[in-house]
């Protein structure tokens, strides 16, 4: 099989040192890496170090006479399977979003017809600046994908917040998912079980109890897992979305039906419980439509608690998936409530979704989430649901790969 080739565009920043490890890992997997270094990147990492690891020359100058005699920036942008920008600085993001091409890196990006993955790294205030966020949204609309930034303390300033370059293992998983979107992907051979959408608990033939869930996030996670090579079972409540191509999709209506479908789909390596399951159902749904009497008398509606699907599967004595990820939609004290839920329900990870009115509502196209694990909380910046899905799958891939190496 012909080796995959990526072009790695290194921006300026202390995080550039992580790219040395990334290049090494890619080369170990048989990926050819051609590196373009901006002038700022060369202040942090030497081209000699990069060349030694990539086993190729490093490209730095738009006006290199030897390269540009053969239109070098066009050749670089086309003779690859993927372009990765890491660290993607605020300056590089701004240039790409606005079509600038005044150096080799930006010219390669503008001339490319390949998929592009950007891994931002910058000061938190620079990342959160409205100008940067506008540029990111524009690039997303143009079809460029992002991974990160991670949240933490900045090496150069001591400030904390979103802005750290994701770790090489996570970035590697995202790259492999794009280079090998079929059975050879980063989750090849893994079975990923995902629940999505709401449940509808009937009150009578025309009314039901439900949550405000569109299923967009769960379906996006299923698509990202398929792209990473996983075998995916998607258990979906009633949604208007089409099922992702490649998923084995089981349609259900109620919480009890969803639990039964999840049990039937086991065993699984990973279970991601993204569905918004109604907490309650009518004890005895009416066979006929409940009508108003006209005298103001209120119908008596007795409710019983639905099964907790996440907790049930997480506490299985045998056959429990190796990694269980729960979702928690909260409107207040988001991290505290979700952290408590992770412990109480027995999940390995919980993705806490802030659905308070000032951040948006369930069913929207963007999420602001916090990944809660046994070791702490990683707060992600606002992302599209596709970005959340791809970042989550990349984190899962990195974890499974690390566990496999330690065995």
Which residues belong to the active site? 211
In terms of Cβ atoms closer than 10 Å to its own Cβ (0-12, 13-18, 19+), residue 384 is buried
169 in helix, strand or coil?
A: helix
125 is known to lie in a ligand binding site: no
- State the Cα torsion 228-231-235-240 to the nearest 10°: 50
Q: Is the CB of residue 389 less than 8 Å from the CB of residue 223?
A: yes
Q: Is the CB of residue 11 less than 8 Å from the CB of residue 86?
A: yes
310 is known to lie in a ligand binding site: yes
309 is known to lie in a ligand binding site: yes
Query: Mind giving me the DSSP string for 326-392?
Result: EEEEESSSHHHHHHHHHHHHT-SEEEEEE--TTT--TT-SEE-EEEEETTEEEEPPPEEHHHHHHHH
341 is known to lie in a ligand binding site: yes
Q: Is the CB of residue 10 less than 8 Å from the CB of residue 45?
A: yes
In sequence order, the 6+-apart residues with CB closer than 8 A to the CB of 171 are 18, 22, 84, 86, 119, 147, 165, 394
List beta partners, residue 6.
33, 82
DSSP-assigned letter for residue 152: E
327 is known to lie in a ligand binding site: yes
Measured in degrees and rounded to the nearest 5, phi and psi for residue 126 equal -70, -40
63 is known to lie in a ligand binding site: no
Kindly state the tokens that stand for 329: 């939609």
Place of tokens 């280079």: 179
List beta partners, residue 201.
209
Kindly state the tokens that stand for 6: 């990526």
Report the C-alpha gap between 93 and 85 in whole angstroms. 9
259 is known to lie in a ligand binding site: no
Strands 32-37 and 5-10, sheet pairing: parallel
In sequence order, the 6+-apart residues with CB closer than 8 A to the CB of 385 are 216, 217, 220, 365, 366, 367
List beta partners, residue 156.
none
32 is known to lie in a ligand binding site: no
279 is known to lie in a ligand binding site: yes
Please state the residue numbers annotated as binding site: 279, 289, 307-310, 327, 341, 345
Please state the residue numbers annotated as binding site for CTP: 279, 289, 307-310, 327, 341, 345
């Amino acid at each position: 099989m012909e080796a995959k080739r990526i072009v790695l565009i290194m921006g300026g920043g202390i995080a550039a040192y992580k790219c040395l490890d990334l290049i090494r890992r890619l080369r170990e997997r048989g990926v050819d890496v051609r590196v373009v270094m901006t002038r700022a990147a060369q202040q942090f990492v030497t081209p000699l170090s990069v060349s030694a690891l990539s086993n190729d020359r490093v490209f730095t100058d738009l006006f290199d006479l030897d390269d540009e005699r053969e239109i070098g920036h066009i050749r670089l942008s086309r003779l690859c399977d993927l372009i990765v920008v890491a660290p993607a600085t605020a300056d590089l993001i701004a240039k790409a979003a606005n079509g600038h091409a005044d150096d080799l890196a930006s010219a390669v990006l503008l001339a490319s017809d390949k998929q592009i993955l950007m891994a931002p790294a910058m000061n938190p205030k620079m990342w959160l600046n409205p100008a940067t966020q506008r540029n990111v949204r524009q690039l997303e609309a143009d079809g460029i994908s992002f991974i990160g930034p991670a949240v933490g303390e900045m090496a150069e300033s001591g400030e904390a917040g979103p802005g750290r370059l994701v770790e090489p293992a996570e970035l590697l998983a995202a790259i492999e998912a794009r280079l090998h979107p079929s059975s050879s992907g980063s989750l090849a051979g893994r079975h990923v079980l995902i629940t999505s959408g709401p449940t509808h608990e009937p009150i009578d033939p025309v009314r039901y109890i439900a949550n405000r869930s569109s299923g967009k996030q769960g379906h996006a996670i299923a698509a990202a897992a398929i792209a990473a090579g996983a075998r995916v079972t998607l258990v979906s409540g009633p949604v208007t979305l089409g099922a992702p191509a490649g998923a084995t999709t089981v349609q259900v209506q109620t919480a009890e039906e969803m639990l039964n479908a999840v049990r039937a789909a086991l065993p699984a390596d990973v279970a991601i419980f993204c569905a918004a399951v109604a907490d309650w159902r009518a004890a005895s749904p009416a066979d006929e439509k409940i009508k108003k009497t006209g005298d103001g008398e209120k119908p008596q509606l007795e409710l019983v608690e639905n099964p907790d699907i996440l907790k049930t599967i997480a506490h299985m004595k045998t056959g429990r998936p190796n990694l269980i990820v729960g979702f928690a939609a909260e409107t207040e004290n988001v991290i505290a409530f979700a952290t408590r839920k992770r412990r109480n329900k027995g999940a390995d990870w919980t993705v806490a979704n802030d659905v308070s009115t000032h951040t948006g509502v369930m069913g929207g196209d963007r999420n602001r989430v916090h990944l809660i694990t046994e070791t702490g909380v990683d707060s992600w910046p606002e992302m599209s649901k596709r970005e959340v899905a791809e970042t989550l799958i990349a984190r899962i891939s990195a974890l499974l790969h690390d566990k496999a190496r330690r065995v």
